[in-house]
Amino acid sequence: MSNGFSGDYEEEAHWTDKANCKDRGHLMFPKRHKDITYISEARRICRQCEVRGECLNYALSFPAADMHGIWAGLTPRQLAKEQKARGVTPSKPTIAEFMADMLRYYKEKPEHRAKPTGVRDDWQEPN
């Protein structure tokens, strides 16, 4: 049965089930961007991870400038260097591109736009 996601997602979901950081995301991503105290513990978790290769390939598919935290034992700056060294062009859109696409989609299909939760019944779509 399809879950509505692409085959790529199902493949990614498979390796993430084995992630050593599963249910420990708070140790991989700092609450504040300038906090670097978490890095050594996050890298220790990654060193013991059996899906580090899959994780690295996945991480390299994102624009490094949008990355946050530690992926496959690497900081976003190290991921950017790795992309450059491997000649990898990220296949995933930047957050800005994703948001622009989403806004374009909802502008073209306002009927698909969900009413935000927790708003009054007389809430109206902004023009």
Q: What residues line the site for ligand SF4 (CB under 6 A)?
A: 19-21, 28, 45-46, 49, 51-52, 55, 71-72
Yes or no: say if 92 and 66 are a contact pair by the CB < 8 Å rule: no
CB of 119 to ligand SF4, least distance (A): 36
H or E segment and range at residue 54: helix 52-60
- 8-35: b (≥16 Cβ within 10 Å) or e: eeeebeebeeebbbeeeeeebebeeeee
Longest dimension (CA), the chain: 54
CB of 115 to ligand SF4, least distance (A): 35
CB of 51 to ligand SF4, least distance (A): 5
CB of 57 to ligand SF4, least distance (A): 10
Yes or no: say if 65 and 94 are a contact pair by the CB < 8 Å rule: yes
